[in-house]
Amino acid sequence: MAETSKPKSFQEIILRLQSYWAAQGCAIMQPYDMEVGAGTFHPATTLRSLGSNPWAAAYVQPSRRPTDGRYGENPNRLQHYYQYQVLIKPSPPDLQELYLGSLAAIGIDMEMHDIRFVEDDWESPTLGAWGLGWEVWCDGMEVSQFTYFQQVGGHDCHPVSGELTYGLERLAMYVLGIDHVMDMPYNDPQAPIALSYGDVFRQTEEEYSRWNFDVANTEVLLRHFEEAEAECEAILAQDTVDPKTGKRIVMAHPAYDQCIKASHMFNLLDARGVISVTERQAYIGRVRTLAKKCADAFVTTRAGGWTEETAA
């Protein structure tokens, strides 16, 4: 296969995934403009996996996991990293083959590597979501998550979406044969100004690690959490008919933004080490309640499959 030529840089791998999934008919979307813990939080996945309308999207999502910060020193761990996310509804029967095709597209030679589908049931307690699937291993390394969504925001998924999530740094390091993430070529190493991943991100990893672990003001974070929670509820409590335009406008997305915000505040509080095991459950429960309400709202929008006829 011609496309198995080795990519040269992190960005080339992303570009190849973009063109591969574009060729498979996915809408190539852009990252969501909020801080999220994983690509799943993007409304293009969370909300669009609900309802009966078909959907096919792929995108890069910057993701933040404050507890994983290592000041840029650890070869694999980052508090800010990229996920590549694909969501297709209904899940096509050849999704595994399509997925394997994407690995070939980024230069993984199936004849030389050991690819395995290892059980990994996915559950997001914060999103009230779960699905069954695998983590995909390439020579013992987890390169992707593969999930058939069964429930999101407390709603059964009909039809079922197939979700693929690639941890881009890890995957790229593997494909490029790099041992330390900071040494990975970000652009073409032959470019006039060749940049490594470290050139781009070492500074921010250091700064955010310090802030996440030791400086972030927990009282402020807690207040933000509570404000986001209140705002989410307030948005959803609005009348479905907008008094100004007279149109039916359910504000599922703005409410969901507040849910995302609350979730991120919780992650930051967690990184600051001020949340105990039992409290954690309570916080997760609060975010889940928001996520469920947003899901309830989304399925009453047109994008969520609502029509005058079904409502009648």
Partner 1 sequence: MPDLLIELFSEEIPARMQADAAEALKKRVTDGLVEAGLTYAGAQAFHTPRRLTLALEGLLAESPTTREERRGPRTDAPEKAVEGFLRGAGLTRDQLTEREEKKGTFFFAVIEKQGRPAAEIVAEVLETTIRTFPWPKSMRWGTGTLRWVRPLHSILCLMTTEAGSEVVPLDIDGITAGDSTRGHRFMAPARFSVTGFEDYAAKLKRAHVVLDAAERADHIWNDATNAAFAAGLEVVEDRGLLSEVAGLVEWPVVLMGEIGADFLDLPPEVLQTSMKEHQKFFSVKNPSTGRIERFVTVANRETADNGATVLAGNRKVLAARLSDAKFFWENDLRVARAEKMQPWLDQLENVTFHAKLGSQADRIRRIAALAREIAPHVGADPDMAAQAARVAKADLSSEMVYEFPELQGLMGRYYSEAAGLAPEIAAACEEHYSPLGPSDDVPEAPVSVAVALADKLDTLTGFWAIDEKPTGSKDPYALRRAALGVIRLVQNNALRLHLGNLIDKQNVRRETALPPIDETALADHFRIVKASHDLTEADNKAIADRIADAPSEQESKITDDSVDIRADLLAFLHDRLKVHLRDAGIRHDVIDACLAMPGNDDLTLLVKRAEALSAFLATSDGENLVQGYKRANNILTQAEQKDGVAYEFGADRKFAETDEERALFDALETARPQIDAAVEAEDFSAAMTAMAALRAPIDAFFEAVQVNADNQVVRRNRLNMLHTIRETCLKAADLTKLEG
Q: Which residues bind partner 1 (CB under 8 A)?
A: 70, 74-77, 90-93, 96, 110-119, 121, 131-134, 138-141, 148, 150, 157-160, 162, 174, 179, 273-279, 282
Nearest residue (CB) to partner 1, 95 versus 259: 95
Minimum distance, C-beta of residue 171 to partner 1, in the bound complex (Å): 12
Choose between 102 and 187: whose C-beta lies nearer to partner 1: 102
Angle between helices 277-298 and 218-236 (to 10 degrees): 30
CB of 106 to partner 1, least distance (A): 15
- Smallest gap, in angstroms, from Cβ of residue 239 to partner 1? 35
DSSP label at residue 4: G
Minimum distance from residue 203 beta carbon to partner 1 (Å)? 21
Q: Give the type of residue at 249.
A: I
CB-based contact 197:205 (threshold 8 Å):
no
Closer CB to partner 1, residue 110 or residue 195?
Answer: 110
Q: Are 87 and 98 in contact (CB under 8 A)?
A: no
Cβ of residue 96: shortest distance to partner 1, in angstroms? 6
In angstroms, how far is CA 170 from the centroid of its own chain? Answer: 15
Closest CA relative to residue 295, chosen from 282, 283, 306: 306
Q: Which of 152, 149, 156 has the alpha carbon at shortest distance from 127?
A: 152
CA distance 208 to 282: 26
Cβ closest to partner 1, residue 141 vs residue 195:
141
- Least distance in Å: CB of 117 to partner 1? 4
Q: Tell me the C-alpha distance between 61 and 84, whole Å.
A: 6
Distance CA 136, CA 223 (A): 39
Distance CA 155, CA 167 (A): 27
- The two tokens of residue 225 are 């959490």
Residue identified by tokens 């032959």 is 190
Residue 141 C-beta: closest distance to partner 1, Å: 4
Nearer to partner 1, 92 or 101 (CB): 92
The DSSP symbol for 248 reads: B
Q: Shortest CA distance to 105 belongs to which of 4, 213, 246, 205?
A: 4
